[in-house]
Structure 1
């Protein structure tokens, strides 16, 4: 019966049904096909129980902070500062794309949301400067990977709640991996810039650079305050989300004076819509995972994986392949809720730190978003910029390879993810 259940899940996913509905319909199908109709009475309780966690409160607050920063002119100032800072290098706008995404990653925390925003901002600008549209779109897609890695990260929040791991440790542990991935992209861009002879801007005067820095300083201060506040114990990760929203409101409304009273209904509506989508996925994934547990799938899969190898490195390789494939077709939050309860106990038996495992999983799933043939971020950028999926695939592959190299470093060098959290403790 469980085989048919998984087959129905795969079929619904293949025909393009949204992941939340795939999870819900598969669960209901299982209940009716097994005549366990009494399980229907437990579904509402399981769904509400899956979203009744204090840590999840950070999601709408960070989404709100992102909406306020975008509407308040904070995003445009970050782009200008990045352009003044690195625009004079050959391929300067490509670096600007990466640096801006790094700034925004610490605010938005979602690859899909970040991609949609940056595709509209950076791709047309790079095209006007003489960059190939395909390269610009691929770079924007790849740079969005920083969203689920650099704190605050929605995937880190979901993992922390699911695995009962400190979200603050996840945030701190993601800093070095985020820097490594950014560095890898910068080195790749350097090589491509020389090969393709990309344009470069004149170096801005020191006075203009200082001015751009001070204009962007309030924007940059928000992620810094989040990290410093968590490190010093001033507030929890959830409270830091409220602080970020409050600061974004003050900066956008009173310092930059770009947020007007009439903007709030749309800001709040966008926040509510995205939060509802995330919450619905979590609720559906909870009942789907419940059915898997009812059929003892976690225990069976754990026993199978342990029987395959007793080598921690081989286990990590299996997990990397598994989550790369899963990340191509399943929403990252749903994948974490379904698979983490299954694999985390096995990872613990190999002596893998739960923070390291969570960061590896999150990056793994993020890479799946830009991995052909079904990476969802690629579909988003392709539809926005009108670049064919085939051309985009060809240009994005070098970035996928760089991302995988960074992923293996993080997986096989635990200190990359555990060193900073150990200092915090």
Structure 2
């Protein structure tokens, strides 16, 4: 009987174990090499963006090539980070079903998660190589080098993931579950391939087959979310269309290459730095002294902190990365359950989607012609309404919290803790001021935060453990890879949905709903909540914004009011399981199993929906300040 509970002949188990031992040194050397390169890339990215800010703002001599080089290296960092995450088993996945079955079945499902990933990597690798070759003919504008230097990250990263996945199978310890999982995977791939001629005549029904059926089958079987999305998209395009798979690689590249996403690894590292330098401890002690004696006090702090920090980076994942490492350890010490924490963090991600300078607001303004300044003005109060709804849930859940062991601080103690925490509390305001004053872009501003945290740790808090830096850099790379790879696969899936004509059909159906403006708002909430769960905010807005905003205008719905309704609906879908990518991002940031949050998140989702209905029913909340 092996570690997974599968009964095998002794010779088979021994041979599997021996092969696993032989593969272990290879995996260690490969892992160390990839981790070292990825850690160096994180340092280089920080240095590049920091140098860009310094050169432009201090010396008035912009480095025209810095953003381009940072973008090239970011794709390499994301792919190598995805390799590290796969080796460590840190890609987000649902294990609710896997954890409830017998040990033997669990072993097969665990092996299936790896073989499914291998299947996609094997199928996409030739097309990724072709894509890199095609990019060889494109020259970058600033550096004047072939774009193949950037695109080469895709086939090399995919090949390394393939090697790592195969090494994981070799080290599985037993051949029986591996062979069974490989057989099931191969049979399913062959079945869909042979069924292609029968699937093509089904037309748009294939959207349900692949983007509901295949995704759900993979997700609930424990296949990582990114690979679940990727397999469904590849299957849909290969079996039901004549689209070259080169296009899918291009969409994967596009999703992973948004310049704003550069903020993600930097804010992840900043969050780790805040904890390591003692700034987090100082902040938590002060906040606890203010609200620690109130039931659910730190949960209120989390909601408020996300409101204040949100929009600084333009990336919701980056915002969560700046907050969660600071608050979660203390909240868990006070008895908060990990599942409740990740559920609330995910809900605050949806709640703060309209806080400027949200990239979704900027995208809406750019594709629909709505004033971005008006959207920025209109976004502040609706987020307060949804935040208040979340506070009601926190109050209800924490009304029986035991505070007998919690000390109430005196005013003098609070003042002392405030003085100690002042440099740490000032950090979000320093970062926001840098963006508002034009010192740095939303992408670059995290480098100012990193410099500030390093100086505060060295000079003020006198706490800086240099030995922890390598581990922090590798963890930053791994988390970045897991998050950005999901976003890339989700972008490819969004493109597949678009090419089906789904977006045009949906807009026509929404316009035909009875009930005038109220009916249109209701169907918009439903449609964009579903769309947000599968398309994410930016792709959904680009696809549907130009189609539905003119309809809203014709029905007498103010564009800013409609934008707030649409953004919140998409945000709720984005951060709601089982399909919402944002939920898995929150789980990755907080290093909490997605299954743990399922029990708690639905009350927060319900509160957000109630808040959204209030915003939809009372246009003044969104447009009241536009008239003053």
TM-score range, shorter chain: 0.7 to 0.9
Q: Which residue of 1 aligns with 2:340?
A: 138
1:174 touches 1:417 (CA, 8 Å); kept in 2?
A: yes
SS in 2 for 1:183: helix
C-alpha change, 1:336 and 1:386, in structure 2 (3 Å) is closer
Instruction: Report deviation, 1:268.
Output: 1.9
Superposed displacement of residue 120, structure 1: 4.8
Pairwise mapping of residues 352-391 of structure 1 onto structure 2 (< 5 A)?
A: 352-353=559-560, 356-357=564-565, 359-365=567-573, 368-369=576-577
Residues 397, 28 of structure 1: CA spacing in aligned structure 2 closer, same or farther, 3 A cutoff?
Answer: closer
Q: How many residue pairs end up in the alignment?
A: 402
Q: Distance in 2 between matches of 1:112 and 1:229?
A: 19
CA distance in 1, matches of 2:591, 2:450: 30
1:97 alignment partner, one of 299, 307, 313: 299
Q: Does 1:250 align with 2:458?
A: no
Matched, 1:343 2:544: yes
**1:275–1:160 CA distance, 2 compared to 1 (3 A):** farther
Q: CA deviation at 1:148?
A: 4.8
Q: Residue 326 and residue 67 in structure 1: after superposition, are their counterparts in 2 closer, same or farther (change >3 A)?
A: farther
Larger Cα-atom Rg: 2
SS in 2 for 1:215: helix
SS in 2 for 1:238: coil
Structure 1 stretch displaced more, 236-245 or 151-160: 151-160
Contact 2:531 2:540 in 1 (8 A): no
After TM superposition, give the deviation of residue 290 of structure 1 in Å. 2.5
Which TM-score applies when normalising by structure 2? 0.54
Q: CA deviation at 1:211?
A: 1.6
In 1, distance between residues paired with 2:468 and 2:389? Answer: 38
1:18-417 correspondence runs (5 A): 18-34=224-240, 36=242, 39-89=244-294, 91=295, 94-103=296-305, 106=309, 109-110=316-317, 120-126=329-335, 138=340, 141-150=343-352, 156-157=358-359, 160=362, 164=366, 175-190=380-395, 196=400, 198-199=402-403, 201-309=406-514, 311-325=516-530, 330=534, 334-349=535-550, 350-351=552-553, 352-353=559-560, 356-357=564-565, 359-365=567-573, 368-369=576-577, 392-393=599-600, 398-414=603-619, 416-417=621-622
- Between the aligned partners of 2:626 and 2:461, the Cα distance in structure 1 is 35
Q: Once the two structures are superposed, what CA deviation does each residue of 1:27-82 show, in whole Å capped at 9, x if it has no partner?
A: 22233224625x22333333323444333322333223222223333333222112
Distance change (3 Å), C-alpha of 1:139 and 1:242: closer
Contact 2:342–2:592 at 8 Å: present in 1 too?
A: no
- Quick one: structure 1 residues 233 and 414, their matched pair in 2 at CA, closer, same or farther if it must change by over 3 Å? farther
Query: Which secondary structure does the structure 1 equivalent of 2:443 belong to?
Result: helix
The answer to whether the 8 A contact 1:23-1:285 is kept is yes
5+ residue gaps in structure 2?
1-202, 554-558
Asked if the contact 2:513–2:519 (Cα under 8 Å) also holds between the matched residues in 1, the reply is: no
> Does the 8 Å contact 1:81/1:216 carry over to 2?
yes
2:181 maps to which residue? none
Report the Cα distance in structure 2 between the residues aligned to 1:13 and 1:232, rounded to whole angstroms. 44
Of 213, 217, 235, 1:11 maps to 213
> Structure 2: how far apart are the matches of 1:246 and 1:422?
41
* Preserved contact between residue 431 and residue 445 of structure 2 (Cα < 8 Å): yes
CA distance in 1, matches of 2:618, 2:389: 16
Residue 210 of structure 1 deviates from its aligned partner by 1.1
| Distance in 2 separating the partners of 1:278 and 1:382 | 12
* Structure 1 portions without partners, runs of 5+: 128-132
Q: Which moved more, 1:23-32 or 1:248-257?
A: 248-257
Q: CA deviation at 1:8?
A: 1.7
Deviation at 1:308, TM superposition (A): 1.8
CA RMSD of aligned residues (A): 4.3
